[in-house]
């Protein structure tokens, strides 16, 4: 049986436990157990038990699933992994490369707040409404812009509320204005992030929402300002 490298992501509150910019340490969860994802899969509790025992010293923390941009690894103990009742917990001491420092800054600015894993499914069971993944071989956990694979699924983005979209756009604009990043590609990533938010704003702006009913002016002001901001 041929095994294929897959990606699974997590998003929302609780994925980041803490960010210590002085020490360069990020803690949180790469994966959550027990919930059905957009592919109709559920990662069962204990799915990482064997890989953490047998493959532990070869697992990496990457930026955007890019093997050429490693942030830390289990080999030298800078990445620590543990499977608990919630999911796959990590503590990562991020290398002080230029993009490593940018990643810490992006976490601080709230632009990076989601994670994803790269793995191979070794054992699974087909249930009535989902596929249960019971044994995985883990290769890496990534800090990602969107909680999806490297192609950023639209379904994951559309599940966001308008309040969350507003918050993300404001944080992204703040990051662009502050200019505290060292690598040029971060600017491209932030611009893409903002354009994705702009598209969602345009779609959301055609529908009535609870947020608009409570305070329509700030929302309208923000989404209509996005095209001008990008053009300038």
Domain final position from 103, 118, 144: 144
Residues 69-115 pLDDT 10s: 999 999 999 999 999 999 999 999 999 999 999 999 888 888 888 89
Pairing mode of beta strands 131-144, 41-43? parallel
Question: How far, in Å, CA of 88 to CA of 164, rounded?
Answer: 25
Question: How far, in Å, CA of 101 to CA of 103, rounded?
Answer: 5
Residues 43 and 91 in one domain: yes
The answer to whether the predicted template modeling score (pTM) of the entire model surpasses 0.85 is no
Whether residue 149 is contained in a domain is answered as: no
**Predicted local confidence at residue 216, as pLDDT:** 47
Q: Which domain holds residue 210?
A: 160-225
Residues 127-159 pLDDT 10s: 988 999 999 999 999 998 765 433 333 333 334
Number of domains the chain is built from: 2
Of 146, 140, 113, 136, which is closest to residue 27 (Cα–Cα)? 113
């Amino acid at each position: 049986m041929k095994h294929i490298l897959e990606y699974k992501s997590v998003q929302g509150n609780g994925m980041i436990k803490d960010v210590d910019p002085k020490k360069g340490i990020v803690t949180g969860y790469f994966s959550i157990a027990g919930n059905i994802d957009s592919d109709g899969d559920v990662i069962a509790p204990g799915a990482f038990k064997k890989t953490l025992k047998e493959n532990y010293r070869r697992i990496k923390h990457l930026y955007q699933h890019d093997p050429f941009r490693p942030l830390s690894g289990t080999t030298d103990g800078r990445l620590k992994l543990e499977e608990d009742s919630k999911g796959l917990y990590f503590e990562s001491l991020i290398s002080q490369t230029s993009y490593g420092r940018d990643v810490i800054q992006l976490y601080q600015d709230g632009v990076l707040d989601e994670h994803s894993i790269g793995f191979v499914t070794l054992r699974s069971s087909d249930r009535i409404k989902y596929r249960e993944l019971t044994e995985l071989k883990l290769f890496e956990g990534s800090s990602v812009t969107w909680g999806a694979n490297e192609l950023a699924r639209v379904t994951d983005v559309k599940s966001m509320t308008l309040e969350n979209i507003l918050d993300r756009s404001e944080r992204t604009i703040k990051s662009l204005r502050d200019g505290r990043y060292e690598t040029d590609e971060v600017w491209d990533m932030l611009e893409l992030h903002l354009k994705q938010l702009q598209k969602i704003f345009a779609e959301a702006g055609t529908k009535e929402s609870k947020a608009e009913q409570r305070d329509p002016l700030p929302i309208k002001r923000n989404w209509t300002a996005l095209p001008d901001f990008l053009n300038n």
